Every structure is written in C-alpha cells, then in structure tokens.
Structure 1
C-alpha cells in the first residue's frame, strides 16, 4: 500500500500532511485552549492592513496583535467548497463538497469526512456556529448550538457579537470553539445590505469617484459605484469584528483564545470569485495566538492548513483516514519561516449546479499553472456576479476588458494556462505554449499531477 502521507509530504510543500499535535504557544495554566474562527463572505485582499485605502481599523488592530499572512490562499474560490476545506483540511475534490450546498445545488460532504465541530465536540469543546453555515450535511457539522441562523441578507454584526459572547459566557466551564459566519461583504439584493442603518454601526460611506479599483476591473462608473457599496459593507464587517474582540477581552478570554480571521473566497466581482487567478484565491489571513509575538509572515499558506492549525492549538488528534492535506501554521506564527511552503494548490469543480467547470492549479511565488479540465465549455459566470452592475456594464460592450484580459479570453479558456507572476502579476499573458518555459510548465504539471494522484482526485484520468 502506498503511504500517502509520505507522498504528499514530498510533493505538496504547504499542503504537507499534519501529524500529531505539537503546539507552539502557551495558554495560561488551568485554562483549556479556546478557538474563535471568523469567516468573512466574499472578501478579497481588501483591508487597510493589506494596503487598500479603506477603513478597517479593528481588523487592522487584530493584524497588529497577531500574525498577518501576506501570502494566504483559499484552496477554492467558491463559498460552500471553501468552508468545507476550512473545516476538514481537505481539498474540495477530496471532501465531496464539489459546489454550493444550499437550495437546488445540494452539494454535501462525502460520508465519513470529519469536521472541526465534530472532532472538537467529541474532545469536550463547547461548539457553536453564529451566522452563515452554507455547508452540509447537518450531521457532519454537529454544533451544540447554531445561533442567529442564516437568513437571507443578514447584516446585523452586533447581533452576531452578542450571540457569540452569550454562548461563551454560558459555557465558561468548558473550552469553546465558536465560528462566526459573517454575511458581509457578500452581495445582497439591495446594495450589499447598505440600504439601512444597522444597530451599533455608524455607516462608513465611500465616494465612488475616489474608490480604489482592483487591477482586474475596468474603470467604469458602474464599477466605481459597485465597489463603493462593497467597501461600505467591509467597514460594517470590521465594526462587527471589533465588537466581538472587545467582548472577548471584557470576558477575560483573549489570553487563552486562538483567533483566526479569513475570507472564504475572492470579492464578488468579475475576474475574482470562482476564478483560480490571484483575485479569486489571494485573501486575508490573520492569526492571533496567545504568547506569540506580532509579525508579518510571507510564507505561502493555504486554507487546507486552517483545520490542522486549530487541532494543533487544541491538542486534538487529526483524522487518520483520509489524512488532512494541510499542515499546522502554529510553528511559523510570529514570523517563522518554512522553505517547504513554496506552493499552494487549488481545486474547483462547480459553483452553482449548472456551472460545471473543473479546474486544478498550482501556484508558486513565480508562476501560476492552471489546468482547465473542461476547457471546451464556456467559463460560467456566477449568478450574483452576472446580475451585478459591474458585469452588466462590462458585458454591454464586448470591447471592454477585464483588466488586460479580453472578454473572449475570459469566457473561452485553453486547456492549460501558465503565467509568469514576476513579469505579469495580472495573469493576462498565457505562456503555456512558450518554448522557453517548457521545463517550468512540465515541472509544475508533474507536481500538480502528483498532488491529484495522492489525493485520489475523481477527475484524474485513468
């Protein structure tokens, strides 16, 4: 029998498998180690601490207090699959959450896949989900309590903070694992939920004429207006994060709680969400661990690393079969390096059930190689993006480009894509057929193929 742990450790770098817990930080004597997992919804690499001139002072403060990863990547740019990756430490093609979970899309984890709430609850943790869930089946996510159940367009960040604090107080005799699933800054039927004033939040409004425009979007009035609403939603999210962290400190639990803040996938704009390009995967990740000095870390890390990190911190053993595809970040918090973390992998199958477009990718510091397994198909546009003011303005004129990429190139993709990130950070010039990069492509393709074999990718050719 092939030892898949050994195979993966050799080929996957940042995705090398977790082993027995080896916690690097110290919690105060007599206290169990708590976990607060904060997941924003469709937030790109957009925060003041990441150099984007918007107002996110509470997230920025968390970054100053913890480890801010500059090279953090989702393993898939779609909501349910990404949340499944976060909770299992397995790629979407491994855990079975191939696409969205809700409504008619109805994707679910495969039988027998272990999740963080199940493992930590068995270990004696008080477990709660506050807000958005968007994963299934329910039996695989046995939270003791699900608070502020997901409702269409919920944006009440104060309600989320109050519910989380109440749960923590009521379970003071046990360690806790609490996940906060924010709805911001996901699109809402009306302006990202900015059509009303939410309790405890002073709205932060942005002038469309002065908003920063990501490089993958054209400069159009409709896009500027769309971005202004998106950034306002982000500032509301930031206020909610501040409320929660203030409550944690007031309860005296900040010094024994691991806090992780990250997004599930890229911003809900063309060229980002559902893509395996940088805007779809390159996201914020901040980890504040008691006893670890603040730092900025440029190691390449993946969302498959989140579950192993939480298990490492709590001392709960990781599953044996299937073994997690990630590796704990605890040893590199506070700025530690790891030369083995030289690449991240990505895996996409569906978004909505009628949007079949399987892709696999490996990204290093210098190149991004994407394998489009169904390249004869048109690349599908997620319905919330397709209905957005941004996409409508772009699609109205076929000559308008998404950054430097033509609409035709965006919708009709080749079997292979290879980008030189040092010269082409916008990933617009496909060099998959360039003779001078044949060796680089072959190396990346083989490394990707090895990962797919080691993780039993169902889309792998016989």
Structure 2
C-alpha cells in the first residue's frame, strides 16, 4: 500500500551543487513531510500522463517541482514497504518482511535520527509499523486503529477528532497545525486511499467507465472498467487532502523551505500489480516539490529506490547517515536532473496473504525476476481476489476468453526466471529469459542478483509459510499462525 512524501531540503547545499553534508548547517534546517498513498500505481495521475484521472493537486506538485520517471519500491506489499522506507533497509533486513509483521524495537529508523537532530516528528493516517516504533514519533494520530497521540515527555493522549471518511487523511491538516514554532518538523502522512474495498459516490463527480485505461494484462470489459473507476475516485479523494495540506503550507509561509516528495507504498490492488515485482507492483510515483532549489516542471530519468529516502532525509537535515542504511542520497538529482545516483534497483516479494519468495533486479533497460517457488502461481492479494475484476476473470477463464497475458496470474508452474526489455515492453509481457540473443544480459543480471543477496544476507527461508486464504476465492483458511523462523532455522537455510 502506498504513501506520499513531502520534505524540505537545505537551500545552500543544493544551490551550490553540494549535498547538505558538504555545507555548513543553516540556521533554519528544512522541514520534511513524507506523504504515502496506499496501493496507487505509478502512472495513475495526470502528472504521469493519465488523461482522465482528476488529480489537480498531484499535478500541481509536478508542475511546481520535479517528476521522477524511474522510481521504485523495494517490495509491493503494504507493511513491508513501510518498514523498508523507515529503516532505510531492504525488507529481508527489517525482520518485518511479511505482511503485518511489526518492526522490532532494535531496528534503527531515520525518524529517531531526525528527532535527535532537533526535529519534531509526527505521523498521521495509516500506521502499519508495529508498536515498537511508536516512540520514534513525538505525536501519532492514527486511523484504521484506535487513534492516539504520544508525547515524548508525557503520557499518551486522545487523538484529534477524526471525520472517519475512510481516506486515512483526516488528521493530516490537524497534525500539521500542531507543529511547534521553534523546531523543524518531519511529518509522515499516510493515506488509506486508494486501498480496497471500494464504494460508490465518495466524490462529488465520480469517474466514469469511459475514463478508464485498462492495462493489457486485464480484460477490457465493463466490470473491470467500473472497478477501476472506483479506484480512480479514491485517488481523487486523496488528491483533495493533498491540496488542503499544500494550501496550509503556503499560508504558513514555510513552503519555500519545504521539499515535497510524493510516493506510493506499492502498486494498484489488481491482478499482476500489487504483490508482484512487475512495474505495476514496484514502480512508484515520485514527485519532489522544493521551490527554493528545484526548477519547476522538470523531469528526471535518474533511478531512485525507496531505501534512498532515509539517507536523503538525514543528509538534507544535516544529520549523520548511519552505515546500516542501504540507500544512497539522491539529493544531487534535485539540483541536476541528469545526475546519476544508482544504476540498478533491487526488489523482493515475501508472504502477503499467500506464500511467495521472488526477487528482482532492474536497470534502466532490463528487469530480471527470479521465482524461487515456481510451483506457486502468481496469485493476487486477497483483497484483489475478492474484487469484481477477479470475479469476472474467473468467469472469462472458465469460458476460455482470457488471452495469454491475462492468464498469467493463474499459470502454474511459473517460469523460474523472467527477463524483460522494459523500454520496448513496458508491461513486461514478453519473457526473454529463454532467448539466446539475451543470454549475456540474463547472465549479468543473474550475477548481480546473487551478489546483492550475498552482500545483504538475503537467504531462502528454511520453511514455507502457509497461505492465509484460498487462492481463487480469497476466503480465509483456518491456519493463520505465521511465526518468524528461529535463528537456527535461518542459519540452516543459509547453508542449503
């Protein structure tokens, strides 16, 4: 599930082409606001060229800032993605790589580093990180669970009053307004939109079926178009909250010293998107607005990864970047869109409702995917299984009217290896892994993946985790316990 990010950058460092670590700390360090959408595809906004989704405020961010066209997440699963972002490490390093696993208390996050550096830190909206990290924030106004506020030097208090419209954005503005006047601030603002389930009439002018662009791996039929239209409505509702926040930021007089970075936690909750390592799952919108230094209306093809957020925030704040963080500081790109900070990204898929263990390496041209459990189909998440789209796909499968691309989520066994030319084949429909003409590329990316796995301690678990739902109906199964493997089991699996 995805989120979006606003954050401030030190003006002097970027205007001179240097990172904040190369310059003296200014008297007014930048504020940082991180906004995360929940389950939004990278190109489902006007800012990324969609002709009919109404996203005036996201589009405004792009007009007034920089749009990243090669931005990626480390996973396409809700809580593991957030755990990776806040710890600056890959999901398998967080000990929270499976859905709903809480981040352990011993994990370092960039939030407490900002706090130690003098920042007031707050979270509003969807939490989904686990109880152990609550003390990293000075204030938390959560939705979707019992709301509360936590003060650093006092007991927990009641959260601000919520409208409870289901967006997850109800407390964003109130949280912004509680920032202290004498401290720089960091806000983690997390929407629930556009996460399923969807309902009708949540916006004044609902999107129509005719507004929908259906990707080729889904059937272009009325049922699917209506499902997409409700998904578009939730994006539009979240966009309105972004506009309210941006208006408040402008009125506060702090907009020029604020960098806005907008992202999602994973792709849309449809088959072959969320919980997959195709670009529909791991590619994310990524927009940075910073009037003081970022030229309005610019775009960049520089690759960035979600693990880069933690070191970048700390660098821009003038704080020390711990060596445990796996990411790189991408702030040079904000000054020079042609700058390169990384040549590849790494992504992974773990248990999310259903067992899986898949890895991907992607550069600017090609993506290599390794399916370690090829006997399992590429099953969508349970909420997508219960969607009108998947119900229609089941009917069409029985009738024999799905094409080969649309049958991909049913196919078992899966190929053990997949290779895609992401420039010529952006929907990743033609697997080149068996093509002799691409043998060298396949070997290079296979070697790169193995090196990353060894360097980061990414090892195959000793045992598989049981599915929590049936794979075609999405109905709950009786066995749900998912204990973490013991240290002995992990050591055993690393030797196998």
The answer on whether the counterparts of 1:40 and 1:184 sit within 8 Å (CA) in structure 2 is yes
Following TM superposition, by how much is the alpha carbon of 1:32 offset from its aligned partner in structure 2, in angstroms? 2.5
114-123 or 306-315, which deviates more: 114-123
**DSSP 3-state at the match of 1:371:** strand
Following TM superposition, by how much is the alpha carbon of 1:406 offset from its aligned partner in structure 2, in angstroms? 2.3
Q: Does 1:116 align with 2:110?
A: yes
**DSSP 3-state at the match of 1:63:** helix
RMSD over aligned Cα atoms: 2.4
What residue number does 1:337 align with?
338
What residue number does 1:8 align with?
none
**DSSP 3-state at the match of 2:170:** helix
Q: Does 1:436 align with 2:447?
A: no
CA distance in 1, matches of 2:415, 2:312: 36
**DSSP 3-state at the match of 1:159:** coil
Q: Does 1:128 align with 2:122?
A: yes
The answer on whether the counterparts of 1:218 and 1:403 sit within 8 Å (CA) in structure 2 is no
What residue number does 2:314 align with?
311
What residue number does 2:77 align with?
78
Q: TM-score under structure 2 normalisation?
A: 0.80
What residue number does 1:59 align with?
58
The answer on whether the counterparts of 2:169 and 2:190 sit within 8 Å (CA) in structure 1 is no
Following TM superposition, by how much is the alpha carbon of 1:34 offset from its aligned partner in structure 2, in angstroms? 0.8
The answer on whether the counterparts of 1:66 and 1:334 sit within 8 Å (CA) in structure 2 is no
Q: TM-score under structure 1 normalisation?
A: 0.85
**DSSP 3-state at the match of 1:362:** strand
Following TM superposition, by how much is the alpha carbon of 1:339 offset from its aligned partner in structure 2, in angstroms? 4.3
Query: CA distance change for structure 1 residues 212 and 138 in 2, over 3 Å: closer, same or farther?
Result: same
The answer on whether the counterparts of 1:41 and 1:263 sit within 8 Å (CA) in structure 2 is yes
Higher RCO (C-alpha under 8 Å, 6+ residues apart): 1
Residue of 39, 44, 60 corresponding to 1:42: 39
Residue of 267, 290, 293 corresponding to 2:295: 293
Q: Does 1:162 align with 2:196?
A: no
Following TM superposition, by how much is the alpha carbon of 1:95 offset from its aligned partner in structure 2, in angstroms? 1.3
Q: After superposition, where does 1:77-96 map in structure 2 within 5 Å? A: 77-96=76-95
Following TM superposition, by how much is the alpha carbon of 1:317 offset from its aligned partner in structure 2, in angstroms? 1.2
For structure 2, which runs of at least 5 residues remain unmatched after alignment?
1-17, 147-163, 461-492
Q: After superposition, where does 1:38-437 map in structure 2 within 5 Å? A: 38-45=35-42, 46-53=44-51, 54-101=53-100, 107-110=101-104, 112-139=106-133, 142-151=136-145, 154-156=165-167, 159-168=170-179, 171-188=180-197, 190-191=198-199, 194-196=200-202, 203-289=204-290, 290-294=292-296, 295-320=298-323, 323-339=324-340, 341-352=342-353, 355-398=354-397, 399-401=400-402, 404-407=405-408, 410=411, 412-437=413-438
Following TM superposition, by how much is the alpha carbon of 1:449 offset from its aligned partner in structure 2, in angstroms? 0.7
Following TM superposition, by how much is the alpha carbon of 1:421 offset from its aligned partner in structure 2, in angstroms? 2.4
Following TM superposition, by how much is the alpha carbon of 1:67 offset from its aligned partner in structure 2, in angstroms? 1.3
34-43 or 326-335, which deviates more: 326-335
Query: CA distance change for structure 1 residues 329 and 110 in 2, over 3 Å: closer, same or farther?
Result: same
Following TM superposition, by how much is the alpha carbon of 1:135 offset from its aligned partner in structure 2, in angstroms? 1.1
Q: Deviations over 1:287-312 (max 9, x none)?
A: 12332223211111111111111111
The answer on whether the counterparts of 1:405 and 1:428 sit within 8 Å (CA) in structure 2 is no
Query: CA distance change for structure 1 residues 158 and 26 in 2, over 3 Å: closer, same or farther?
Result: farther
288-297 or 379-388, which deviates more: 288-297
What residue number does 1:14 align with?
none
For structure 1, which runs of at least 5 residues remain unmatched after alignment?
1-20, 102-106, 197-201
CA distance in 2, matches of 1:217, 1:403: 10
Q: Aligned pair count?
A: 423
The answer on whether the counterparts of 1:28 and 1:255 sit within 8 Å (CA) in structure 2 is no
Following TM superposition, by how much is the alpha carbon of 1:216 offset from its aligned partner in structure 2, in angstroms? 2.9
Following TM superposition, by how much is the alpha carbon of 1:141 offset from its aligned partner in structure 2, in angstroms? 5.5
358-367 or 412-421, which deviates more: 412-421
Query: CA distance change for structure 1 residues 358 and 339 in 2, over 3 Å: closer, same or farther?
Result: same
The answer on whether the counterparts of 1:118 and 1:142 sit within 8 Å (CA) in structure 2 is yes
What residue number does 2:468 align with?
none
**DSSP 3-state at the match of 1:325:** coil
Q: Deviations over 1:15-35 (max 9, x none)?
A: xxxxxx932899996322210
Query: CA distance change for structure 1 residues 357 and 61 in 2, over 3 Å: closer, same or farther?
Result: same
The answer on whether the counterparts of 1:343 and 1:362 sit within 8 Å (CA) in structure 2 is yes
